[in-house]
């Protein structure tokens, strides 16, 4: 079960609308859905909200340490409330996923993401869940730092916002620990097309019109 939802980003108005803050956008949307207000908590170096969902306590966290020290915040809250790494979902921007898509995964490397790198270090493991919100890649490695700290184009931001709305539908499954169901909901960008009705043997089509 997911007990701690973490969104990664950088604090301050100058970063608020930049691609690197996609994790903050997701947590903000979840807080609105749950009618929660994130409050600064000095002990956990972040903005925090707590609620009860399906009978269990669930936390929302936005570290205010800047991206490369995100683990300081995540580790402090997780240790104090004895939340295991596998009960944590970290939502972050992902260069290798296009805007409009998201991927759910468990474990693995930090792949150079500075926020994940510090969370790995503070938790002592990479065995936590990640929700990767696609922001696309600039195409040139040397441009990555500028890319993530810039605002997305309008159509990209709209695609990211649509992804956030869609992936929030997986939250009940995430809280319940139904990770296969959550994965299906998150990875399906559009609802499946309905199958045509099954034709029974001897069914020649619709009945003829009744005589007038």
| Active-site choice (20, 45, 113, 120) | 20
Distances in Å between the Cα of 138 and the Cα atoms of 56, 143, 147, 150, 152 are 41, 6, 6, 11, 11
Catalytic site includes residue 20: yes
Q: In which residue are the tokens 């919100």 written?
A: 133
Bridge pairing between strands 102-106 and 56-63: unpaired
167/97 Cα distance (integer angstroms): 14
Q: Please give the backbone phi and psi of residue 59, each rounded to the nearest 5 degrees, phi first.
A: -115, 145
- How far apart, in Å, do the first and last CA atoms of the chain sit? 62
CA-angle at 133, arms to 140 and 151, nearest 5°: 60
102/131 Cα distance (integer angstroms): 7
Q: In which residue are the tokens 């195409």 written?
A: 139
Nearest to 92 by CA among 60, 65, 132: 132
Chain-centroid distance, C-alpha 47: 17
Q: For residue 102, what are its two tokens?
A: 């998201």
Q: Please give the backbone phi and psi of residue 102, each rounded to the nearest 5 degrees, phi first.
A: -145, 155
Supply the residues annotated as catalytic. Answer: 20
């Amino acid at each position: 079960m997911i007990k701690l939802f973490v969104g990664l980003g950088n604090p301050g108005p100058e970063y608020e609308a930049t691609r690197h803050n996609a994790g903050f956008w997701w947590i903000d949307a979840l807080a609105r859905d749950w009618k929660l207000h994130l409050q600064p908590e000095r002990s956990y170096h972040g903005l925090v909200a707590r609620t009860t969902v399906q009978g269990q306590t669930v936390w929302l966290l936005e570290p205010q340490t800047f991206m490369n020290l995100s683990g300081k915040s995540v580790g402090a809250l997780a240790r104090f409330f004895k939340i295991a790494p596998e009960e944590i979902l970290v939502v972050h921007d992902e260069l290798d996923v296009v805007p409009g898509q998201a991927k759910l995964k468990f474990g693995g490397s930090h792949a150079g993401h500075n926020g994940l790198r510090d969370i790995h270090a503070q938790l002592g493991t990479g065995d936590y869940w990640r929700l990767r919100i696609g922001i696309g890649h600039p195409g040139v490695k040397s441009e990555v730092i500028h890319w993530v700290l810039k605002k997305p184009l309008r159509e990209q931001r709209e695609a990211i916002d649509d992804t956030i709305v869609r992936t929030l539908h997986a939250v009940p499954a995430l809280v319940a620990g139904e990770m296969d169901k959550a994965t299906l909901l998150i990875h399906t960008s559009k609802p499946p097309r309905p199958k045509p009705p099954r034709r029974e043997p001897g069914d020649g089509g619709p009945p003829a019109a009744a005589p007038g």
